[in-house]
């Protein structure tokens, strides 16, 4: 059974320990089959049994763990869909309750959550049961303004929340840094003449007054986060920061109010208000920079979302009307002018133009469109104007499906991340133990050690150990990698697929429709003695133009390609499995197989020696005769795609074994494989046996990719370690395989492998530096180097280092964009030189 999936946004997660806690809590919930938590996106992908668990109960479970949970979207027949509405006119909490109540009374709505700050309502409903017009009606009847669907606008639904969090962080960081600088000046009054005359005890109380908001207001999120974790009987990054800053603050406050508690001489008591304030400010600054930088890693989604038009022009009762996108219905006829973005998927009904589809397929050349051509939402019309009938709207368009696919991929978890999650689950408790041991050693065992020094080392160990870099190491790189792939027309289904691709050592290609175009073309024209090439093609095409057979179309196209137009024919007759006949200028022309010639009593032995090699090489032969006299022979074969040879060579240059699989006989397979440069072939393989052949290769210890058309090759794609589905434009099987190539370009197979390898390299770099940083930083903070070189780590420097570690991990993931641009530049130069 395929379980329905849901995607939830979880707020309040700050490190890998949070990820582990949320994931474990969800997995322990009855009815949950699978859960993957992504710290970088703040999302949780859940596979669940709808008969056992409701999504509202799952959100409640997450909220009980101390986090915020919001349903974003889902798929599956029994799975509710989610949409986000803009609502105007709300002014207070009573408005929120009123709108929520009205929406929840609509039949089919499972849950409605209204946010006053963002003027949005997130509505979860049964697909097909709730029309948008009904939601609009209840909102407007309640006295509020319906302003449209957020998902179909130009803004990412998560951007408002992120922008608001960034704004709040910015304010608190500025206040925190400002207070910290003043507190540092007050802690060193001898450097500032205008502070020297202030009595020491007075200064201490001033510093206490300034540090209190610097720690508790500026760092509020750390303390609330630590309390939530404590209620769940666990710990996370917030715990470490809260314990560190609170320890320094409480020690300094006690030393200020009761200095005699630590020393008989008040002047000898050191306070660390500057450390407490600066720890909070620096860690918060790191969080702010990290959030800003993480926003860049989801750039691919924002660009795809930006392709969605907000309005469309449709024909209604003969008039041109501009409407909001959510009002467009399947079957509506839409108008498109030059340079406009196409509003939804459809089929051209009149007019012609060329359309730039590069944002969906990565293909730079515009695609010609005429009556009957498919067009896709988000693509840009070029010069002409046309009208088209909408065939897919809203969430059903190719663009919406691609956005969903990329969002799911960016929210997924690579297997390598699970190792980091396991470490993070025990990391914080271990750090707290190490910090406690550090304090005990420095306070009780080090000769002439001060309580204050033991406390500083305790705080430094806590602060430098925050595991947020571990939690961000993999998901940020996965987000960037899958985003880059989407930009190139390579849709990678998730972190697991991304990780597997670079391990491949064997690539198996299906022949028909993958290496070849899947349609025949004329390869040889062999006239009989005394017959010209033009005479043979004119006779054949004049009859075949009346046939719908693929071989007939190929012959007609070949003739027209040489400037030969078919003549008028009459008395046309098609004989199934044999051929066709017709009369041209009184003469009877017969076009067909050897068997047809034998039945008609036509002697073709004069052609036999000329066509023997063509037939032996696996080509299809068509014989042509006029009034029982052979005119000649036309050979046809399935044509190779333009990129097949180069695509195969790129893989061979990467030292990969390339295999061709086909149901054709050996001779035909040998002919195609020789042209494309593949020397390992599997011929005469039945469709149902393709998956068995893939498993046989895997049994030999190979890591196998299967490249097919995504429809007929589905079992083999599923059996392979990595299934790669080829697509024609955007009409692709998005649910088939681990990777979907948005255009018929076999060079994209090697590009997908390169992208995987480069992404995995960045992930491993991130994980190495995250673990190396903590392995090195914790001993230094504990004072291991002090006996040798007198080196100790001030908590303020520990806080700065911890903040920079998270930012550096995200920046390294973003560096993948630069690495990929360089790779593409080198690849394009290489193609230019070889072309």
Ranking 493-497, 749-753, 811-815 by mean pLDDT, the lowest is 493-497
**How many Cβ atoms are within 10 Å of 573's Cβ, its own excluded?**
12
- What local confidence, expressed as pLDDT, does residue 588 receive? 92
First to last CA, the chain: 50
* Strands, sheet with 516-527, edge to edge from the N-terminal-most edge strand: 516-527, 629-640, 620-626, 587-592, 579-584, 570-575
Percent of the chain with pLDDT over 90: 15
Backbone angles phi and psi of 491, in degrees to 5: -95, 110
- Write the CATH number of the domain with boundaries 516-640: 3.40.1110.10
- What local confidence, expressed as pLDDT, does residue 683 receive? 87
Please indicate whether residue 510 is annotated as part of the active site: yes
Beta bridge partners of 492: 739
Q: For residue 236, name the pLDDT band (cuts at 50, 70, 90).
A: low
Rounded mean pLDDT, 702-729: 79
Backbone angles phi and psi of 411, in degrees to 5: -90, 0
Q: For residue 753, name the pLDDT band (cuts at 50, 70, 90).
A: very high
What pLDDT, in 10s, does the model give residues 288-340?
776 676 565 555 556 666 677 778 888 887 788 888 877 888 889 999 988 88
Please determine, for residue 649, whether its predicted confidence score (pLDDT) is greater than 90: yes
Asked if 470 and 420 count as a contact pair (C-beta separation under 8 A), the reply is yes
Helical segments of 298-339, H only:
299-306
Q: Considering the candidates 332, 345, 510, 713, report the single residue annotated as catalytic.
A: 510
- What local confidence, expressed as pLDDT, does residue 407 receive? 60
DSSP annotation of 441 reads: I
Of 514, 516, 493, the closest CA to residue 722 belongs to 493
Q: For residue 703, name the pLDDT band (cuts at 50, 70, 90).
A: very high
- Please give the C-alpha separations between residue 70 and each of 9, 45, 125, 185, 462, in angstroms, as whole numbers: 5, 12, 14, 44, 32
The yes/no answer on whether domain 490-511+644-747 falls in CATH 3.40.50.300 is no
Rounded mean pLDDT, 487-499: 82
Q: For residue 520, name the pLDDT band (cuts at 50, 70, 90).
A: confident
Q: Do domains 5-155 and 305-392 have the same CATH topology?
A: no
- Write the CATH number of the domain with boundaries 305-392: 2.70.150.10
Of 816, 44, 3, the closest CA to residue 412 belongs to 44
Domain segments of the chain as ranges: 5-155, 159-297, 305-392, 411-489+748-835, 490-511+644-747, 516-640
- What local confidence, expressed as pLDDT, does residue 406 receive? 66
- What local confidence, expressed as pLDDT, does residue 86 receive? 75
What integer best gives the mean pLDDT of the chain? 79
What pLDDT, in 10s, does the model give residues 141-161?
776 778 777 554 444 444 665
Please determine, for residue 412, whether its predicted confidence score (pLDDT) is greater than 60: no
- What local confidence, expressed as pLDDT, does residue 290 receive? 64
Rounded mean pLDDT, 397-404: 74
Backbone angles phi and psi of 484, in degrees to 5: -60, -40
Higher pLDDT, 78 or 447: 447
DSSP annotation of 412 reads: S
Helix axes 159-187, 273-297, angle to 10 degrees: 160
Of 482, 484, 496, 505, the closest CA to residue 823 belongs to 484
Can you tell me whether residue 530 is helix, strand or coil? coil
HSE-CB of 460 using CA atoms within 13 angstroms: 27
The two tokens of residue 493 are 């289904």
Class of domain 5-155: alpha beta
């Amino acid at each position: 059974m395929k379980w329905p999936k849901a995607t939830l946004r979880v707020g309040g997660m700050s490190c890998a320990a949070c990820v582990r806690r949320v994931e474990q809590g969800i997995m322990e919930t009855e009815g949950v089959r699978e859960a993957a938590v992504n710290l970088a996106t703040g999302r949780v992908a859940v596979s669940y049994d709808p008969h056992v668990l409701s999504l509202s109960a799952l959100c409640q479970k997450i909220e009980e763990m101390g986090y915020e949970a919001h349903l974003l979207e889902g798929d599956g027949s029994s799975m509710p869909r989610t949409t986000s509405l803009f609502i105007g006119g709300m002014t207070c909490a009573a408005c929120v309750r009123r709108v929520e109540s009205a929406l929840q009374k609509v039949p089919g709505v499972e849950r409605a959550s209204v946010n006053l700050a963002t003027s949005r309502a997130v509505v979860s409903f049964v697909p097909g049961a709730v029309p948008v017009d009904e939601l609009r009606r209840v909102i407007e009847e309640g006295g509020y303004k319906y302003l449209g669907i957020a998902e179909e606008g130009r803004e990412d639904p998560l951007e408002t929340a992120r922008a608001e969090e960034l704004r709040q962080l910015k304010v608190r960081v500025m206040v925190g840094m400002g207070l910290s600088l003043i507190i540092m000046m007050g802690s060193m009054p001898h450097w500032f003449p205008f502070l020297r005359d202030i009595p020491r005890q007075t200064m201490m109380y001033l510093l206490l007054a300034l540090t209190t908001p610097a720690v508790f207001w500026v760092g509020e999120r750390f303390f609330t986060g630590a309390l939530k974790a404590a209620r769940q009987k666990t710990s996370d990054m917030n715990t470490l920061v809260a314990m560190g800053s609170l320890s320094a603050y409480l020690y300094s406050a006690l030393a200020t109010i009761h200095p005699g508690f630590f020393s008989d001489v008040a002047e000898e008591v050191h306070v660390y208000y500057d450390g407490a304030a600066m720890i909070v400010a620096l860690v918060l600054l790191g969080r702010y920079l990290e959030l800003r930088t993480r926003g860049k890693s989801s750039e691919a989604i924002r660009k795809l979302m930006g392709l969605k038009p907000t309005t469309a022009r449709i024909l209604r009762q003969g008039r041109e009307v501009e409407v909001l996108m959510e009002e467009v219905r399947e079957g509506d006829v839409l108008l498109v002018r030059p340079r406009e973005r196409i509003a939804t998927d459809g089929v051209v009904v009149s007019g012609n133009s060329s359309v730039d589809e590069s944002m969906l397929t990565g293909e730079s050349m515009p695609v010609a469109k005429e009556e009957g051509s498919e067009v896709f939402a988000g693509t840009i019309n070029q010069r002409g104007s046309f009208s088209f009938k909408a065939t897919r709207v809203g969430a059903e368009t190719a663009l919406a499906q691609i956005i969903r696919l990329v969002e799911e991929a960016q929210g997924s978890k690579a297997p390598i991340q699970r190792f980091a999650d396991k470490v993070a689950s025990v990391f914080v408790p271990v750090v707290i133990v190490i910090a406690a041991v550090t304090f005990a050693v420095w306070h009780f065992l080090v000769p002439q050690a001060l309580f204050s020094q033991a406390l500083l080392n305790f705080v430094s160990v806590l602060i430098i150990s925050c595991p947020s870099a571990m939690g961000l190491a993999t998901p940020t790189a996965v987000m960037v990698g899958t985003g880059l792939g989407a930009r190139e027309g390579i849709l990678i289904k998730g972190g697991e697929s991304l990780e597997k691709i670079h391990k491949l050592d064997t690539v198996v290609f299906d022949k028909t429709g993958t290496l070849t175009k899947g349609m025949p073309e004329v390869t040889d024209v062999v006239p009989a003695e005394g017959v010209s090439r033009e005479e043979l093609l004119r006779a054949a095409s004049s009859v075949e133009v009346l046939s719908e057979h693929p071989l007939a179309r190929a012959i007609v196209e070949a003739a027209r390609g040489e400037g030969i137009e078919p003549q008028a024919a009459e008395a046309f007759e098609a004989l199934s499995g044999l051929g066709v006949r017709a009369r041209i200028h009184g003469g009877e022309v017969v076009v067909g197989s050897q068997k047809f010639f034998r039945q008609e009593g036509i002697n073709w032995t004069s052609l036999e020696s000329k066509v023997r090699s063509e037939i032996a090489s696996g080509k299809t032969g068509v014989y042509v005769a006029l009034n029982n006299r052979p005119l000649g022979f036309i050979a046809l074969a399935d044509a190779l795609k333009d990129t097949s040879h180069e695509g195969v060579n790129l893989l061979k240059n990467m030292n990969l074994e390339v295999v061709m699989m086909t149901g054709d006989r050996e001779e035909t397979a040998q002919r195609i494989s020789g042209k494309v440069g593949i020397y390992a072939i599997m011929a005469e393989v039945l469709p149902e046996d393709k998956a068995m052949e893939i498993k046989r290769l895997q049994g030999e210890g190979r890591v196998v990719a299967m490249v097919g058309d995504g429809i007929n090759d589905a079992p083999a794609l599923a059996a392979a370690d990595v299934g790669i589905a080829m697509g024609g434009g955007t009409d692709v099987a998005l649910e088939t395989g681990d990777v979907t190539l948005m255009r018929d370009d076999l060079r994209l197979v090697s590009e997908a492998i390169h992208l995987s390898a480069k992404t995995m390299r960045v992930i491993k770099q991130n994980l190495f530096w995250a673990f190396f940083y903590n392995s090195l930083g914790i001993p230094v903070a504990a004072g291991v180097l002090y006996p040798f070189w007198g080196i100790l780590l001030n908590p303020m420097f520990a806080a700065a280092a911890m903040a920079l570690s998270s930012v550096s991990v995200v920046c390294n993931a973003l560096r993948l964009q630069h690495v990929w641009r360089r790779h593409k530049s080198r690849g394009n130069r290489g193609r230019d030189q070889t072309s």
